[in-house]
Amino acid sequence: MLGFRGDVAVITIDNPPVNAGSAKVRAGLLEALGALGDRNGIKVAIIIGAGKTFMAGSDIREFGAPLSDPQLPAVIAAIEACPVPVIAAIHGAALGGGFELALGCDYRIAQPGARIGLPEVGLGLVPGAGGTQRLPRLVGMEAALELVVSAKRIDAQRGYDLGAIDALSDGDILDDALAFADTGLAKRPLHAMAIAPFEHAAVKSLSAKLIAKAKGRPAAEKAAHLTLQSLEHDLRDGLEIERAVFQDIRITPEAFAYRYQFFAERQASKNPFDAQAKTIAAVAVVGLGTMGAGIAYCFLRAGYKVIGIEGDQDLLDTGLGRIDALIEKDIAASRITPEAAQSMRENLLGNASIEAAKDADLALEAIFEDLAVKRDLLGRLSAVLSPDALIATNTSYLDIDAMAEAVSHPERFFGLHFFSPAHIMSLLEIVSSTSSSAGAIASGFAIARKLGKQPVFARNSYGFIGNRIYAAYRRQAEFLLEDGAEPPEIDAAMIGFGMALGPFAVSDLSGLDIAWRMRQAQAASRDPKARYVRIADQLCEAGRLGRKTGAGFYDYPNGKPVASPIVTEIIDAERRARAITPRTIGSHEIQARCFGAMVNEAVLLLEEGVALRGSDIDVVLVHGYGFPRWLGGPMWHAAHMEPAALDSAIDLAAQAEGVTFRRGDAATALATLKNQN
């Protein structure tokens, strides 16, 4: 849309909700820029976004098919060829193609809090409209590499400090851009701008570090290479090379998987019910152990008042100390300002009595995993709170229907399953009991948004979505142990598959005792014919509870995991007791069986209605369990495997478990995923 304010042309991008740079937007921009030439007396042009943002990037939905003309580089070329200086006026976000559009303008003015950056690598892409070539010319090689390869988003204030933004706007962005336009601007082509000198060795090592941090994903490596190449070519040639790499990479299986995750996350974030969220100002967190303190800190950081409650004064002091340590750590790392820390401290009240929860709009219990103790606490909380206050549990696997029975007005009760460490992990399972009201669930989604968490809806089931799939995976890993593979072989195979850590390294990290307690609680109801591996129980009995005790599936002589002769002896003894002749198991079989077990459980979760969609399961596994994002998630990966390979993986897992897997609807569940993006 083209308008005029005196001798200034104002071009407005208007494509709600985030002004994604679709083909229509690109055509509109090109047309507006063309129309400028027909009008005499125009001195400056401003490009601005309507609504809440400048431009969130190119329209990601277009990347799976051939891109239609005009393409973004053509629009930016038209800006550069425009006879008058062009200003990008940025509010909200200028990301990816949106930031590249702004970099193609002669000047950039932005609101200090606006988010800018090149998140393409996080989508399995490289910037495709000049990001890797123009940014080093503006901010220097080191800062450009960091932004491009880490896909980090920064605020415009930081962009100003780096030299990517020319002026900041504290008021109305258009008014300030008009005032800026009046300061006698001239055309300022980036072609002429050289990259500031830098220390080559430092840049090389920074590049290697950033690529390693991105786990060597091809997009990161290619993006780093393109950025460094900007030195060797003039801008025009550099742009062509970058564009060619972008065109290739956007149709790789990895890029499809990343884009799928992007939309899966947004789909999962939508409240599935049509209901109003309750307004929540004060939250009581009962239980300030590591988990509860982390949860309390999440609420404080998001601006809630928090009442931290513990059983007695000593426990309370320790719990409040834990919260304080988290605050201090974030101040030291400059993640929060001392002023923000001060206001968090003012918002935190500690109390050793449950009565203190009476004014809370939400009470969340984060005490240890014991159903009877939790039920008792929930009953007492119900009596203290006002009848319309919400009550939530952070249980990670217990039956929340059984807990709801202890709550008066059980419709207000639901699960908010945080992942450890709660202040770092983004995932939040929002769990409905059979009596949870739609309003309680809607409130869970509103809370997740305010906390900046990735919510996923789940219905009650042992372990909900994530822990149930993970338990099936873990079980299969233990069958592999008995059958002949050693912990380091299984861990290495799963890291080779793409998992962030192997299953036994994870157990050692999180502690073996939680799962041990769970197994003990389940012992009475376990099918006696089901295959059960006793190795982990025996490690626990021997006091090997993981890293916290200095030994688990591995020994940790210097803090690093090494294979343990004691564990080998325990495994060998178990194999003998079961009359299993160990055999060599290759990484292909390890990966197939572990993956087959995950997919089978995922399909069951869908059939049972515990998960609403396959894509929700993928969001849970990627965000909470280190499943590789570039494979999309277990469901996406399964949907894109050779059907025969998937069948064989599931069959191998079933054989090891000694059961017939119910995977009747796997094909249907997976077919819906195949047609996306």
Residues that bind ligand 3H9 (CB under 6 A): 17-18, 20, 53, 56-61, 72, 93, 95-97, 100, 119-120, 123, 125, 127-129, 131, 263, 266
Query: H/E element holding 269?
Result: none
- Asked whether 401 and 460 are in contact (CB, 8 A), the reply is yes
Residue 619 CA to chain centroid, in angstroms? Answer: 8
Closer residue to ligand 3H9 in complex, CB, 104/294: 104
Q: Which of 100, 265, 365, 489 is catalytic?
A: 100
Nearer to ligand 3H9, 92 or 466 (CB): 92
Interatomic CA distance for residues 427 and 416, integer angstroms: 10
Long-range pairs for 235-244: beta carbons < 8 A, 24 or more residues apart: 235/133, 235/134, 235/137, 235/190, 235/191, 236/191, 238/132, 238/133, 239/73, 239/130, 239/133, 242/126, 242/127, 242/128, 242/130, 242/131, 242/132, 242/133, 243/73, 243/128, 243/129
Least CB distance to ligand 3H9 at residue 55 (A): 8
Name which of 127 and 634 has its Cβ closer to ligand 3H9: 127
Three-state secondary structure of 421-463? CCCCCCEEEEEECCCCCHHHHHHHHHHHHHHCCEEEEEECCCC
Whichever of 18 and 620 has its CB closer to ligand 3H9, that residue is 18
Catalytic site includes residue 120: yes
Assess whether 232 carries a catalytic annotation. Answer: no
Sheet containing strand 153-155, strands side by side: 93-95, 115-117, 153-155
Among candidates 258, 352, 341, which has minimal Cα distance to 297?
341
Q: Tokens in use for 245?
A: 């790499």
Nearest to 151 by CA among 138, 167, 135, 168: 135
d(CA 222, CA 201): 19
Cα Rg of the chain (Å, integer): 28
Closer to ligand 3H9 by CB, 53 or 507: give it: 53
* Residue 270 or 588 with smaller CB distance to ligand 3H9: 270
Angstrom CA distances, 297 to 347, 415, 610, stand at 11, 18, 29
Q: Which of 120, 365, 486, 601 is catalytic?
A: 120
Q: Based on CB atoms, which residue is closest to ligand 3H9, 72 or 82?
A: 72
Residues known to be catalytic: 100, 120
